[in-house]
Structure 1
Amino acid sequence: MAHMEIRFSGSGGQGLLLSARILAAALARQGRHVAQSNAYEPVSRGGLSRSDLVISDGEAAFPLARRVDYLLILDAAAATVSTHLLHQGAVVLADAERVPDPPRGDFRTIALPFTETARGLGNPRVTNIVALGALCTLAAPCPAEALLDALLAMTPARFERLNRDAFAAGLAMAVQEPA
Structure 2
Amino acid sequence: MTRSTPQGRPAADRLEIRLAGSGGQGLILGARILFEALAVEGRRASQSQSYEPTSRGGFCHSDVVVTEDLSDFPLVTGLDVLIALDQVGYDRSAGLIKPDALVLVDEGIATGPAGGRLHRLPIAARAVATGSPRIANMVALGAFVALSGLCGPEALAEAIRRETPEKFADLNLAAARAGLSLAEPLAA
TM-based fold match above 0.5? yes
- The percent of aligned pairs where both chains have the same amino acid is 43
Aligned-residue Cα RMSD (Å) equals: 1.5
Q: Distance in 1 between matches of 2:93 and 2:20?
A: 9
Q: Is 1:4–1:54's contact at 8 Å kept on the other side of the alignment? A: yes
Q: Contact 1:17 / 1:38 at 8 angstroms: preserved in 2? A: yes
Aligned length: 177
Q: Deviation at 1:27?
A: 0.9
What is the Cα deviation at residue 117 of structure 1? 0.6
For residues 73 and 111 of structure 2, the distance between their equivalents in structure 1, rounded to whole angstroms, comes to 28
Counterpart of 1:19 in structure 2 is 30
Deviation at 1:61, TM superposition (A): 2.8
Q: Report if the CA contact (8 A) 1:70-1:139 is conserved.
A: no
Mapped partners of 2:144, 2:34: distance in 1: 10
**Where does the alignment leave 5 or more consecutive residues of structure 2 unmatched?**
1-10
Corresponding residue to 1:166 among 155, 161, 175: 175
CA distance in 1, matches of 2:186, 2:115: 18
Distance across 1 between alignment mates of 2:149 and 2:173:
18
Query: What SS is found at the alignment partner of 1:171?
Result: helix
1:87–1:106 contact (8 Å) kept in structure 2? no
Paired residue for 2:159, among 146, 150, 159?
A: 150
Match of 2:6 in 1: none
1:52 aligned counterpart, secondary structure? strand
The match for 2:3 is none
Instruction: Between 107-116 and 143-152, report the one with greater CA deviation.
Output: 107-116
> For 1:62, which of 73, 77, 82 is the aligned residue?
73
Q: Partners of 2:80 and 2:163 in 1: how far apart?
A: 25
1:53 lines up with 2:64 in the alignment:
yes
- Look up the match of 1:81: 92
Is the aligned partner of 1:5 residue 2:16? Answer: yes
1:89 deviates by: 1.7
Tell me the TM-score normalised to structure 2 length: 0.88
Aligned twin of 1:114: 123
Residue identity matched to 2:77: R
**Letter of the 2:102 counterpart:** V
Gaps of 5+ in 1: none
Most deviating of 22-31 and 143-152: 22-31
Contact 1:5 1:68 in 2 (8 A): yes
Deviations 1:71-90 (A, max 9, x none): 00001112222222222221
**Any conservation in 2 of the 1:88–1:106 contact (CA below 8 Å)?**
no
Residue 106 of structure 1: how far off its partner (Å) = 6.0
C-alpha deviations, 1:34-80, integer Å up to 9, x for none?
12221100011000000111101111232221121110000111222
Opposite residue 100 of structure 2, the aligned amino acid is G
Comparing 106-115 with 1-10, which one deviates more in the overlay?
106-115
The answer as to whether partners of 1:92 and 1:107 remain within 8 angstroms in 2 is: no
The question of whether the paired residues in 1 share the 8 Å contact of 2:127 and 2:175 is answered with: yes
